[in-house]
């Protein structure tokens, strides 16, 4: 009974965060902000759903695979997001108009 409640909570929270990630990709104004929403919330949502899978099956092989997949997501997602953001910035993708000065344009030779 307790395991079913934990699994349900993890799946619901994971689904909520994945939904927020998708909503952020659709609604946010800038490629960098969209990327931030998709990587942070998407990784958390996927991790929670994988944790629910590990609790549901509760065998060593599944738990090991779930933990390995969560670690893989935690390691690769920030690196990929950084590279995509840097490439978008260097190519000259229009950014959201804010009052913040762009001090990185000279260092990254933005077009």
Nearest to 89 by CA among 40, 49, 32, 36: 32
From the number of C-beta atoms within 10 Å of its C-beta (0-12, 13-18, 19+), residue 33 rates as middle
**Span 10-31, pLDDT tens digits:** 999 999 999 999 999 999 998 8
- Model pLDDT for residues 28-69, shown as the tens digit of each residue: 998 888 998 899 999 999 999 999 999 999 999 999 999 999
Q: How many CB atoms lie within 10 A of CB 28?
A: 16
pTM of the model: 0.83
How many angstroms separate the CA atoms of 81 and 83, rounded? 5
């Amino acid at each position: 009974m307790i395991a079913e409640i934990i699994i349900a909570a993890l799946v619901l929270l994971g689904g909520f965060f994945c939904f927020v990630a998708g909503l952020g990709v659709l609604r946010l104004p800038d490629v960098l902000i969209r990327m931030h929403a998709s990587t942070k919330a998407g990784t958390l949502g996927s991790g929670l759903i994988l944790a629910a899978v590990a609790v549901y099956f509760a065998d060593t092989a599944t738990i090991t695979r779930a933990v390995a997949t969560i670690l893989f997501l935690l390691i690769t997602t920030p690196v990929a997001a950084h590279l995509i953001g840097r490439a978008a910035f260097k190519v000259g993708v229009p950014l959201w108009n804010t009052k913040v000065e762009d001090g990185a344009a000279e260092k990254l030779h933005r077009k």
